[in-house]
Amino acid sequence: MDYVKPTEVVTSMIDAGTRKAALPVNDLLIRGALSGAILGIATSFAIVAAVQTNMPVVGALVFPVGFVMIVLLGLELVTGSFALLPVAQIDGAIGWAGTMRNWAWVFVGNLGGSLLYAVLLWGVLTMFGETPGGPVGDRIVALTEAKTLVYAAHGHAGWATAFVKGALCNWMVCMGVVMGMTSTSTAAKILAAWLPITIFFAHGYEHAVVNMFLIPAGMLLGAKTTSADWWVWNQIPVTLGNLVGGFLFTGVALYATYHVRAKKLRAAAEPAQTAS
């Protein structure tokens, strides 16, 4: 049987968070940059699929390919770290400084890789500024403006909406991370991780690292969004929402029920072993 029980999964989450906190800065940056670029490629792939089929759900079905690559290669995605490192910290395996160090450097790496791919995709779609971006470019522009200017038009309510969409998104993204730990089989890991990622993308929820690629790409392609619009109305509220969704809805929730359960089971087993 390759199924890993939830109590063991939480232990794996603690171990993963501990390992991530100990990684040197160069590894955090390289793995973070690779994750940002791969997630950007998966996003443009999903947009291409949706444009070609005129069925947005097709984009949601294919987008998880990038996330699965990140999980299987053990790369660094700050949104996943929002769940794993706090669990390790609550368990006493790492300190606050280790958590913040990982989050900060991985965020920088994710941003760098995302921006690099945004420039490369702009070059491919427009012949480096010589031609229009075509249907894919138009869709990226429309999404960029929807993720910034539409929120801005609604003021505080728009900011709150971006925040809540971020929380709901990373609830599912971190569930994808955790579901990938529920099996020792590669095929099962892929399928288990695929499901919650499809859910978040199909709903149009907000992912901080996806937007690190998508919004700058849209700006390069002609969106009316400014850098201030990007950060104030999307990147900041979405990142904070991702933090809440990963930390509270996934990491803390699973730790609170399954780690406590594991301790009780071990405590109950000890007297029986002593008696025997």
Q: Could you report the per-residue pLDDT of 95-150, keeping only the tens digit for each? A: 999 999 999 999 999 999 999 999 999 999 999 999 999 999 999 999 999 999 99
Give φ, ψ of 94 to 5 degrees: -135, 170
Mean pLDDT of the region 192-218: 97
Question: For residue 229, how many other CB atoms are within 10 A of its CB?
Answer: 21
For residue 231, give Cα distances in angstroms to 21, 181, 236, 238: 27, 33, 6, 9
Confidence at 259, pLDDT banded by 50, 70, 90 = confident
Distance CA 37, CA 47 (A): 15
Domains of the chain are 6-268 (1.20.1080.10)
Percent of the chain with pLDDT over 90: 93
Confidence at 176, pLDDT banded by 50, 70, 90 = very high
DSSP state of 234: I
Give φ, ψ of 3 to 5 degrees: -75, 135
Confidence at 29, pLDDT banded by 50, 70, 90 = very high
Residue 23: the pLDDT is 98
Q: Encode 129-149: b = buried (16+ Cβ within 10 Å), e = exposed.
A: eeeebeebbebbbebbbebbb
> Which comes out higher in pLDDT, residue 275 or 190?
190
